[in-house]
Amino acid sequence: MKTALVTGILGQDGPYLAKLLLEKNYKVYGLISRYANPNFSNLDYLGITSQIDYLQGDMTDECSLMNIIKNIRPDEVYNLAAQSFVAASWDQAKLTTEVNSLGVLYLLNAIKLFSPATKFYQASTSEMFGNSNINGEQNEATPFHPRSPYAISKLYSYWITNNFKESYGLYCCNGILFNHESPIRGKEFVTRKITDGIAKIKLGLAKEIRLGNLDSKRDWGFAGDYVRAMYLMLQQAKPDNYIISTGVSHSIRDFCAIAFNHAGLTDWEKYIVIDPQFKRPAELFSLQGKSSKAKDVLGWEPEVTFEQLIKMMVEADLSRYK
Ligand code: NDP
Ligand code: GDP
């Protein structure tokens, strides 16, 4: 039986990845911090809460990570833990850096010292590109120009992951994932904020949704598709870095129009209030990834379309409030 440690197990991607690994007969360990009230609702949503072995530790506590790696020496580590919300990273830049940058260094050091055969996946992000692009798209060769403390912290982790591969011969991969969503996406992210708001409006629990910039464009995919790519990256003969995206980009406006329409609410603009507090000090105007390397080498392609994703999210939020 193969073993995997998944950090960020209580977030969005952790549960989808854990479900995939359990289906493949892995023993799955999940790292959780010390909480007064841990929130297992995302794992509950996928029905796998009782199938994970939980280990207490924190990305900012080097010793806890060393002990865990030393004790379980997993075949694979998927590092999904992060302060992952871009907007919060301006106000909490130090925390973001400690978790997203130093945390990765600690984890890699633990692997190097106690379990060098462990394969390592790092959750890198399209945010590292900023507004940089090649003919309107981003691929593995596009120069990085991070525009938030979050993106900068993730650029450090991208490079330290490459460095441990090059310096010590560890099997380390970066998945450069574009935005991916699901019914268990955090409610502060714009997609889920919209679908959650729509469900409340539809059921008479709210009258409006307050948003920032409606014109920025994102390449949105489904988290369930993207965790397959993470798994595939660790099954190759050699470690490498891959862009994971759908190749199709939409604005927040497009998302709103389709989502409201799906809930049977016409004239979506009358429900939206533009609130400057949700605008960012520096914005990424357009992300659109080219994932042809992942298709050629990993045989990976997304299955869920933009419209199907929105429908899934709207329906899940409607049934929650009902
Ligand atoms: P989430 O924010 O949903 O999950 C991140 C998890 O990390 C949370 O469960 C959080 O715990 C945990 N965490 C935060 N700080 C610590 C810490 N100090 N020690 C241990 N655990 C901690 O993110 P996603 O699942 O959406 O994303 C997974 C990864 O992929 C993240 O690294 C993200 O930055 C990256 N990524 C995500 C993209 C996306 O579109 N979703 C795109 C590209 C990259 P808690 O529940 O307590 O907050
Ligand atoms: P990000 O791409 O990781 O920052 O994911 P988000 O879902 O947080 O934001 C995607 C885009 O939506 C960004 O360009 C935001 O500026 C834009 N946006 C507009 N209004 C909002 C809002 O109210 N909340 C969030 N989170 N984003 C918003």
H helices present in the chain, as ranges: 13-23, 41-46, 62-72, 86-91, 93-97, 103-114, 149-168, 190-202, 223-233, 252-262, 292-293, 306-321
Q: Which atom of ligand 2 is nearest to the CA of 214?
A: 19
CA–centroid distance, 269 to ligand 1, in Å, is: 31
Asked if residue 58 has its Cβ within 6 Å of ligand 1, the reply is: yes
Ligand closest to Cα of 12 equals: 1
Asked if residue 82 has its Cβ within 6 Å of ligand 1, the reply is: yes
Ligand closest to Cα of 195 equals: 2
Contact 233, 175 (CB under 8 A): yes
| pLDDT tens-digit readout, 269-307 | 999 999 999 999 999 999 999 999 999 999 999 999 999
| pLDDT tens-digit readout, 3-32 | 999 999 999 999 999 999 999 999 999 999
Q: What is the DSSP letter of 188?
A: T
Give me the count of residues in the chain: 322
Whose C-alpha lies nearest to ligand 1, atom 29? 80
Low-confidence ranges of the chain (pLDDT < 50): none
pLDDT score for 26: 98
Q: Which atom of ligand 2 is nearest to the CA of 148?
A: 4
* Cα dihedral 91, 97, 98, 104 sign: positive
The model's pTM: 0.98
pLDDT score for 157: 98
Structure tokens at 85: 């919300």
Packing angle, helices 306-321 and 252-262, rounded to 10:
50
Distance spanning both ends of the chain, measured CA to CA: 41
Contact 127, 154 (CB under 8 A): yes
Q: Which of 217, 197, 185, 219 is nearest to 272 (CA)?
A: 197
Which amino acids are annotated catalytic?
125, 127, 150
Whose C-alpha lies nearest to ligand 2, atom 24? 190
pLDDT score for 8: 98
Sketch out the chain's domains with CATH numbers. Answer: 3-179+222-244 (3.40.50.720), 181-218+248-287+303-321 (3.90.25.10)
pLDDT score for 23: 98
